[in-house]
Chains A and B, each alone.
Chain A
Amino acid sequence: GGGSSGAAGPSGDAFKISFANFTEAAPLFRVIHTNLDDVISRGDSGLELKWYDNAGDAAKMSQNAQLMVQDQPDAIVVYPVSAATQGVSQILADGRIPCVSVNLDTEACDFLNIDNRALGEQTAEIIGRAAAERGWNASNTTVLIGQNAASGEQVNDCVRYFYSTIAPILGLEEVDPTTITPTTTTIGANAIQFEGASTLQPSFEAVTNLLPSIPAGNNIILYTVNNDSTTGALRALEDAGRGGDDVLLIGGLGGDETGITALREDPRWVAEGDIFVSWWGAYAAAMAKAVAEGAKPPADVTPLPQIVLDKTTVDEYHAPGSAAVSKLPPLVPDNEFLDQSGVLQYVRGVAGL
C-alpha cells in the first residue's frame, strides 16, 4: 500500500519529501518504496515521505506532479514515466521546489541515474571474455538482446552498447550503437533484438516465436534491459531445449534476487549488472535533502551506485547465501555530497560511511 510514513518527531521539524514512483505494480520499482520506508523506520532520519504512483502512465504522472507541488514539501523526488518528463518538468519548475529526478532526466530537476551505457559495456566485456574462451564466434553464435521501447532511449542504451562492445570481441558485424532503434529487429547475421516490454510473458512469447531465426546449433548470448525480460526469454529458450549450459551465456541486469541467485548457482549466468535498485529511494532522498540544504550536484548527472558483478565478486556485495545487499560501492567524487544529508547513514554498509 501507500500512505505516509513519518518520522518519530513532530512533523513540523521533519523534512518532507513527496515521492512519485514509476509504478507500484512491478517488483523492480516496488522495492524502491518498501526499502526506503524500511530505512526511515530504522530511526529518526528526520524524513517524512508522501508516496505517489505514476502507474507507468504519462497522464497519471503529470497529475501527480501537480499534486506534489500542491503538497508544498521541502523536496520532490520523481521517477518519471518516459513520455511525461518534459511536461512534468514545467510543472515542477513552476513549483520552485527542489527536486530530484531518478533514472530519466527531468530538466527542472537534478538528475540521479545509473550509467546504462557503462552497464552494457562492462557486461559485454565479461560475457565476451567467457564466450571467447569457449571459442564462440561469428560462425556459431547468436546474440539475443531484449529492449523495452516504451521506456525510452536512455534505458535501452544498455542493450545497444552491449552489442557494440561484444561485437568486436567475438568478431561479429560491428555497427554504430545509435543505429540500433526500437524498430531494429536483426543486427547483421549474428544478433536479434526482440521487444520484451520489460515483462515476463511478452518476452517469452517474442523469443518463442523467433526461435527458428536462431540457426540450429548456434550458441546463444542473452542480455536484456531487466531480469524479468531475461527470465521470460530464458524460459522460452529452455522450453525449446536451447538452454544447455554449454550453449547459452546470460548477462543479467538488476541485482535482484533472481539475478544474484542465478549468478551464484547458474553456470550460464556469468554476469549481473548490479544497480542496487532497492536503495535508489534512499539515495534519492539523500540527494533531495542535500540539494534542499544547498549542496551543488554535478550539472549533468549524479551517479547511483552500480557495478557489474561476476561469479567471483558477487559475495563481496551480497551476504553469501542471500541476495540481501551487504555492501554498497563507496561514494565517488561526483556523489560524495550525498553523505551531508545524513540520510545515507541509515543505509548500513555503504563502503566508507
Chain B
Amino acid sequence: MDAGTPALSVDGLGKQYGRQRVLESVSFSLRRGEVAALLGENGAGKSTMAKVLAGAISPDHGTVAVDGRPVTFASPRSALLQGISFMPQELIYVPRLTVAENICLGRLPGRLGSTSPRAIRRRAQDEAQTFDLDLPLDRSMDSLPLAQQQQVEILKALARRSRILLLDEPTAALSSRDSDQLLQLTTTLAARGVAVLYISHRLDEVFRVCDTAHVLRNGRLVSSSPVRDTSPREVIEHMLGRPPEEIDFSSEARPQSRPVLELTGWHRDRIPALRDVSLVVGEGEIVGLYGVRGSGAETIAETLGGLHADVTGGTVVSGRPLRHLSTPLAAHRAGISYVPADRKSQGLVAILPIVQSLSLAVLRSLTRLGVVRRRREAAAAAGLAEQVQLRARSLTQPVGELSGGNQQKVLVGSRLAAKPKVLVLQEPTRGVDVGARLELHRLLRALADEGTGQLLVTSDVEEAVGLSDRLLVVRDGRIVHEITHPTHASQPEALQAAGGPE
C-alpha cells in the first residue's frame, strides 16, 4: 500500500439531529501510524464523529474514504470489515456474559460456526497477554468495577487487529497508571502502522502521545495542527474560541454569606469513589465543581439529587441536618433541586407537553383535592418559559420536539419551579448552542443574586470559570484545588489541576 494515501480521510462530513447541527462539513485525514487527537468541549461533536466513522450512525452529508477508497457504512459491521474498530465513550458491553466472551464478542474462535467456552477463554487469554492486561476473564462483566470494564472495552477494540482504531475518552475512568499503560500501547500500535483517532479531555495525554490535534467547536473543525507546533494554551483557545460576548459574570464576592449547603466527610467506595469530600455553598453563591469524567464531581451532584444511597457523610441544608438523602423525593423535600446531566433519559418525559413538563416537579403545589388547577399551572408555566426565554411554537408542544437547547431550558425551568434553597446543576448547558448557553448563564446568575445557592458540576471549563464564584477542582474523588474568583485566565490552571500529570 502506497504510504501517501491516508488510512482514513473524511470530507465535508455533516450530521444533524433534528434542527441541531452536530457536525458541519468536517474534513481531515489520518495517516497509517498516526495518532491524532480529536478535541473539543462537551457537545462539540467528537463522539458523533467517532460514531459516524464506526458506522454506528450515518452522516447526512460528506464522504468517508479508507485507504483512498470511498466507503459508506450501513452498520458497525461494515466498518469493522473495513478494519475500523471503535471504543465508545459510554461503555457498551453484555452485562451477563463473562469478560472473556465480551472480549471475543463478534469474532468468536472456531470454524464452521463452531466454538466453545474453552476456545473463547483461550483467545481472550492470548489477547490479554498480547496487550499485557490482567483481567478476571471468568467473572461476569457486570461484576467488574468501572475501571476494569473500561479496560475490557479497550482490549475488545485492540483485539480486532484493526488498522484504524477509534478511542473515545478511553482513559476517562482509568487510574493514571492504567492510563500510562494504555498510552504506551497506543504508541506501540502506531509504530506498527495502526492509525489511531484519540478523543480525550486530558490535554497532558494528548501532548504525550499524539502527532496531530484536531479541534472541534460546535461541530466545526476550527484547527488542525501538529502538536509540536502548538501549546495547551493555544489548543484551549481553539476549543473555546474567543467568544465575542465575553461577559464576566462573577459578581462581587459574598464571603460571609450564610451557608445553605454543607457537605462534610462524604465517602464512597464504589467507583467513582469519593474520599472525604467536604464543601460549603453560601446563600447566593455559585460554587463550581470541575473534574474529568469519573473524577467524582458528577457523583457528588447525583448524590445530592438522591441517586446514590451508598454515600456516607454529613449533609446540612440551610442549617438543618438531613437524616437521609436516598431518594429523589427526599432531595426535593429537603429543598434541593437537581438538574441531571442526561436530560434525555433522566430529565424529561419527551412525550409530555411543555406545560406539563414544567409543572411535573411541583404538581403537589398546583393541586387541590387531587385536581390540577390548570389556570395556575398555565400561568406558572408561562412565567417559567418567559424566565428561561424558551422558544417554542406553543406551550402545548411535546417537549421531545424541541431543540436540544430549548429542551435543556425546559429541564432547568422545571427545577426552578420549586423555588429551591439549593440548586444542583449537572452539565446545565450540555448540548446547548452558544447563544442558549449564554442565556442560561445569565438566568443562573440572576437566581444567585436572588439568593439561591448553586452547585455547578460541569466538564465545560469555560462554563466552570465563567459562572462560578468559587471553583473547586475534583480529582480521584478528592477536592484537590480551589480557585476563588476564577476568570477566563484561570482556565489552564483548572485544566492542569483536573487533568495534569501527578
A and B touch in the complex (CB under 8 A): no
Residues of B that sit less than 8 Å from A by CB: none
Residues of A that sit less than 8 Å from B by CB: none
